[in-house]
């Protein structure tokens, strides 16, 4: 349930529209650059504008709001994060990774544009995200913003978690090992989202620490929820196949802890995320509402 008195649906619809318009504008600038091949741009556009909840950029904006800043100022940073998310999905779907044929109800990028172009589209989105971010945040915090996003997306963050996810390991990991993987594979980008929003909103030290706690808890809860839905969700509703984790022997939270414990862990993490926002005023209402929405999915 959303926070009392806060219109989460209205907030999401408004800013999703703004985010999509900003992504379109970014692609238009690329189209005007003679150096960007049209086939590459088409593959990037295909995945970047294929729908999605725009949750990560929304969290960037909501964190800026929580710190007393204006969401409009965080749009560029939010779009940069969405581009990195889109690149990760393109590469996740490849035959060497999850080998999925559908994403968000349509053929995956490599099915629609070929495997080589899909790889390059992911590369293009990843690298262009950093150019966009460098132009989108105040100069005083640009180096910090670029550094924290690079770490979150890199070998000690998302890529490292993905590498462990696909590594062949016959032993069932401990629950702590599964959660450590999730913290890198998924939670790192959510922590980066609130950190970027905090930088743009002028967060103080205590606020920045609270936002990090929120992002880590939210991100881990999100991944567990995603794993739960992959086990018992409807493929048509989700827009992608279900059951692939089990087929490919992925060591997910529900497989290690069981469905009931995973649900309870999600709810506990959502509570932790909300409690982390105590240093903020009512302006943290969007972050609270997004966490409560996550809890409602399990």
Q: Is the domain covering 8-296 a CATH 1.10.600.10 domain?
A: yes
Q: Which pLDDT score, from 0 to 100, does residue 239 have?
A: 53
The C-alpha angle with vertex 178 and arms to 176 and 180, in degrees rounded to 5, equals 70
- The pLDDT-based confidence of 261 (bands split at 50, 70, 90) is very high
Q: Is the pLDDT score of 219 beyond 80?
A: yes
Q: Is the pLDDT score of 249 beyond 80?
A: no
- Supply 14's token pair: 């408004």
The pLDDT tens digits of the residues spanning 102-124 come to 998 999 999 999 999 999 999 99
Q: Which pLDDT score, from 0 to 100, does residue 1 have?
A: 41
Q: Which pLDDT score, from 0 to 100, does residue 230 have?
A: 84
Mean pLDDT rounded to a whole number for the chain: 92
What contacts 294, CB < 8 A, 6 or more positions away? Answer: 218, 221, 222, 225, 266, 270
Q: What is the pTM of this model?
A: 0.92
Q: Is the pLDDT score of 6 beyond 50?
A: yes
- The pLDDT-based confidence of 2 (bands split at 50, 70, 90) is very low
Q: Is the pLDDT score of 289 beyond 90?
A: yes
Residue 256 Cα distances to 175, 227, 250, 298, angstroms? 6, 11, 10, 17
Average pLDDT for residues 56-83, to the nearest whole number?
97
Q: Is the pLDDT score of 46 beyond 80?
A: yes
The pLDDT tens digits of the residues spanning 131-160 come to 999 999 999 999 999 999 999 999 999 999
Q: Which pLDDT score, from 0 to 100, does residue 4 have?
A: 58
Q: Which pLDDT score, from 0 to 100, does residue 244 have?
A: 52
Average pLDDT for residues 187-214, to the nearest whole number?
97
CA distance 169 to 183: 19
Beta-bridge mates of residue 103: 106
Q: Is the pLDDT score of 234 beyond 80?
A: no
End-to-end Cα distance, the chain: 12
- The pLDDT-based confidence of 88 (bands split at 50, 70, 90) is very high
High-pLDDT (> 90) share of the chain, %: 82
Q: Which pLDDT score, from 0 to 100, does residue 247 have?
A: 45
CA distance 257 to 39: 44
């Amino acid at each position: 349930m959303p926070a009392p008195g806060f219109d989460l649906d209205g907030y999401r619809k408004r800013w999703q529209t703004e985010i999509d318009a900003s992504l379109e504008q970014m692609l238009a600038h690329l189209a005007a650059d003679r150096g960007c091949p049209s086939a590459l741009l088409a593959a990037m556009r295909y995945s970047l504008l294929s729908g999605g909840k725009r949750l990560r950029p929304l969290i960037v904006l909501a964190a800026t709001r929580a710190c007393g800043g204006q969401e409009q100022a965080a749009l560029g940073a939010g779009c940069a994060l969405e581009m990195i998310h889109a690149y990760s999905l393109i590469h996740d779907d490849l035959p060497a990774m999850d080998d999925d044929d559908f994403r968000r109800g349509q053929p995956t990028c490599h099915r629609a544009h070929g495997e080589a172009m899909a790889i390059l589209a992911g590369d293009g989105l990843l690298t262009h995200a950093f150019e966009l971010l460098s132009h989108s945040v105040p100069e005083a915090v640009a180096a910090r913003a670029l550094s924290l996003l690079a770490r979150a997306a890199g070998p000690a963050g998302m890529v490292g978690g993905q590498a462990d996810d696909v590594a062949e390991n016959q032993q069932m990991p401990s629950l702590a090992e599964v959660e450590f993987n999730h913290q890198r594979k998924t939670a790192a980008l959510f922590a980066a989202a609130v950190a970027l929003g905090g930088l743009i909103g002028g967060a103080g030290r205590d606020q920045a620490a609270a936002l990090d706690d929120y992002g880590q808890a939210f991100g881990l809860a999100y991944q567990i929820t995603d794993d739960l839905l992959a086990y018992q969700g409807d493929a048509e509703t989700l827009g992608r196949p279900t059951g692939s984790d089990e087929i490919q022997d992925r060591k997910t939270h529900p497989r290690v802890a069981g469905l009931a414990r995973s649900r309870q862990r999600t709810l506990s993490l959502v509570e932790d995320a909300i409690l982390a926002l105590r240093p903020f005023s009512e302006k943290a209402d969007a972050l609270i509402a997004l966490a409560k929405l996550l809890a409602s999915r399990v």
